[in-house]
Amino acid sequence: MRTLLTYLPAVACAGMMLMVCLPMILGRKSHPRDDEAATRQEVATLREEIVRLKAERARETDKELLDG
């Protein structure tokens, strides 16, 4: 009985850590496609913005060359 009481805090701590961490770990794995879709959408939006900014910069450069 004394041995059990000695190791009880360590076992309880490990059990509680498992109970707390396991849902978080499983929660991440259950919805990776939602995150991937959001990331793909963000990347597509950023690429469109880059194209727009490059075109705007090219127009400004052309205008500066024409104005001399």
Residue 44 is encoded by which pair of tokens? 């597509």
pLDDT at 31 over 90: no
8 alpha carbon, distance to own chain's centre: 38
Q: What confidence tens digit (pLDDT) does each residue in 2-25 have?
A: 888 889 999 999 999 999 998 888
Residue 20 phi/psi, 5-degree rounding, is -80, -45
pTM of this structure: 0.47
Distance CA 52, CA 41 (A): 17
- Rounded to a whole number, what is the largest CA-CA distance in the chain? 93
Where are the domains positioned within the chain? 1-30, 31-68
Residue with tokens 């939006």: 45
